[in-house]
Amino acid sequence: MSKRIQVNDLNVFYSQFKAVEGVNMVIEPRSVTAFIGPSGCGKSTFLRTLNRMHEVIPGARVEGEVLVDGNDLYGPGVDPVLVRRQVGMVFQRPNPFPTMSIRDNVLAGVKLNNRRQSKSEQDDLVEKSLRGANLWNEVKDRLNLPGSGLSGGQQQRLCIARAIAVSPDVLLMDEPCSALDPISTLAIEDLIEELKTEYTIVIVTHNMQQASRVSEKTAFFNIAGTGQPGKLIEYADTAKIFSNPDVQATEDYVSGRFG
């Protein structure tokens, strides 16, 4: 299920503006990789190129390759819709479909794939996904109520359940805890720990303790100044990044001596 991601010489542009420059990276399967760096350094933009979600913004394009188990996501004839079905995403703010019930939210992606399922198969999938997102016990009695009635942390776990219901190869998380309180954050972090046994997880975070708690490898992104492209400064084992990084800028950032 989980796959290896290889990024070769990736540049990302918004029309004429070069947002990210020259990223090379290998992300191992069944691991958690964290992206850290100051705001505007291109880490979210880069994350979105891993499932072609950056294309939602008009004028966005990339140069270079993103290989998922050897298949280039940007090869000729590759449909971004199919890419996104293999590479799931969880967003900064919880975004369950407001008019759908909890159950329908979990099944939303599966229904898109036009897989015909019996009701009992659907029930099993809903339970499995919600259990996988540590949400089952809290919502099993109200599966037919709208997802918007849940707390923020529960909504975010519902979004994770929705993403894993389609059995993606990779799970991208764009600051998944930034809108949550510490207790809900802990619940999500525990969940990430469990999910990495099955999925390749990439997480963008502003919280460096979070990066050091959940990830095996960490990538530090930075920009030279406004209007400059973001670059990958250092990519190494998380323990190394937070104890003795090779680059001075990384050390300054993780130790809070940034700027």
Partner 1 sequence: MSAAVNDPAAGLRSRRIGDAVFAGMSRWAGALILIVLAAVAIFLVAQALPALIQGTDEGESFLAYVLPLAFGTVWAAALALAMAIPVAVGIALFISHYAPRRLAAGLGYVIDLLAAVPSVVFGLWGIQVLAPATVPLADWLTANLGWIPLFAGPASGTGRTMLTVAIVLAVMILPIMTAMCREVFLQTPRLNEEAALALGATQWEMITMSVLPYGRPGIVSAAMLGLGRALGETMAVAMVLSPATVISFALVTTQNPATIASNIALNFPEAHGLGVNTLIATGLVLFVITLAVNALARWYVNRRTVSA
Binding positions for partner 1, rule: CB under 8 A: 51, 53, 56, 58, 81-85, 88-89, 91, 93, 95-100, 108-109, 112-113, 146, 148, 159, 162-163, 166
User: 104 in helix, strand or coil?
Assistant: helix
| Helix/strand/coil percentages in the chain, nearest 5 | 35, 25, 35
Cα–Cα distance for residue pair 121/127, rounded to 1 Å: 10
| Nearest-approach distance from CB 86 to partner 1, in angstroms | 8
Nearer residue to partner 1 within complex by CB, 32 or 158: 158
Comparing CB distances to partner 1, the nearer of 108 and 186 is: 108
Amino acid at 252: D
Sheet architecture: strand order including 5-14: 71-72, 60-68, 5-14, 17-27, 230-237, 217-223, 32-36, 200-204, 170-174, 87-90
Looking at beta carbons only, is 102 or 163 nearer to partner 1?
A: 163
**Measured distance CA(67)–CA(249) in Å, rounded:** 29
The structure tokens listed for 40 are 């505007």
Q: Give 191-257 as a DSSP string.
A: HHHHHTTTSEEEEE-S-HHHHHHH-SEEEEEEESSTTSPEEEEEEEEHHHHHHS-SSHHHHHHHTT-
Give min distance, CB of 98 to partner 1, in A: 6
Q: Are 253 and 220 in contact (CB under 8 A)?
A: yes
Min separation Cβ 6 and partner 1, Å: 22
- Whole-number minimum distance, CB 54 to partner 1, in Å? 11
Closer residue to partner 1 (CB): 53 or 195: 53
Sole residue written with tokens 């939210």: 105
**CB closer to partner 1 out of 168 and 245:** 168
The candidate with the shortest Cα–Cα distance to 12, out of 56, 54, 75, 51, is 54
Residue 83 or 223: the one with the smaller Cβ distance to partner 1 is 83
Shortest distance in whole angstroms from residue 189 CB to partner 1: 21
- Quote the least distance from Cβ 219 to partner 1, whole Å: 21
Closest separation between CB of residue 228 and partner 1, Å? 26
Q: Return the number of the residue (93 or 240) whose C-beta is nearest partner 1.
A: 93
